[in-house]
Amino acid sequence: MKKRNSQYTGNKKGARRERPLGVREEAARARKRKRAGGYYDERVYSQKEYMEMDRDKAVSAKRMRESGDLAKKKNREVVDEVIWRKNKKAGKKKVPAKKRLTVLFIAVVLLFGIGYFCFQYMRVENIAVDGVEGEDAQNVIALSGLVQGTHIFNVDREKAKEQIDAEPYYEYRSIEYDFPNSVVIHVNKRRVSGAFEHNGRYVLIDENGIALGKQNIKTALKVPVLYGLGTVTYEIGYEIRVDDTEKQGFMTALLAALNDSALAGTIRAVDFTNKNNAVMVNDAGMTIEVGEEKDVADKIKFASKVLERLKKEGKTKGRLDASSKARISYFEEGSDVSKDIIT
């Protein structure tokens, strides 16, 4: 006899027993599974197989619900974002055209007012000079071409530079505007540091070798006269050219060192005939040998201290060998015996 399908049920005491399914109930379940797309065949399933199939269907349904809920959540977030943006855009108030025109008109008036103020009041009233004083400052202002009342935008810096540099004694640096109505001209004044003879006249130069002018009388010079340079070509306002470039470099280094030492204004002559041993003579008649160009600044500072010491001892003439920055030898006038002075 063919065994029919059955299902479990419980009694009052909780025990489980197998109850056979009816034909109609079995057919109804089969139709239901068929409509749901489940597998259907002619075989008859046991109650356990039915339970496993129902459990699998429940798990699949749960997963489908969860995936559907997730998709709905994402879709809802996107919709909320779109709605928020639309509300935000709608919340911005549109400025009326009349108000926009009013604001534009006020802005134009303000710009015009500022421009008018700049044009009327940004004019040069005070002109100052940095780097020189007194008569030199007045000369620089005159050379610059600046006058009171000139509009600040009309100040020609290139022209001022060209005209100031045309005067050898002044070196243009810059022109600075000082709000609201002042201008400062920055310059350097070149210092006469030496001279050399050329065609019976003395050409004045600064410590960089820039030719500044000419002078006829030697006794009026308060700077050292340079000898032994060889052939020299020059043009006022420009650097001189010496055939021996080593001598030219030694000359500029020595003049700069003299300007920075206590010997400034006391040296009357410098002889560069031997470029390995330049010889200076001060206004008291002391001969000072400084050797080669190396360490010339240190040697001149050392020599100035020794000369001050010798002056206190009443020794103002003779010969000083300062070719070393560590030791100076002093020879009294007419003597070959030296006295070493160590730093």
> Is the per-residue pLDDT at 12 higher than 50?
no
Residue 15 pLDDT exceeds 70 = no
Q: How far is CA 57 from CA 9, 70, 101, 187, 287, in A?
A: 21, 20, 71, 98, 122
CA 270 vs CA 10, 90, 96: distances in Å: 134, 91, 87
Residues 177-223 have pLDDT tens digits of: 887 788 999 999 999 999 999 988 999 999 999 999 998 877 777 89
264-320, pLDDT tens digit by residue? 999 999 999 999 999 999 999 999 999 999 999 999 999 999 999 999 989 999 999
- The whole-chain average pLDDT of the chain stands at 81
Find, among 275, 277, 274, 255, the residue nearest to 322 by Cα.
Answer: 277
CA distance 15 to 48: 17
**Of 257, 241, 259, nearest in space to 291 by CA:** 257
- pLDDT digit string, tens, across residues 19-47: 555 666 666 766 666 665 555 454 555 66
C-alpha–C-alpha distance, residues 221 and 197, integer Å: 12
Which has more pLDDT, 18 or 137? Answer: 137
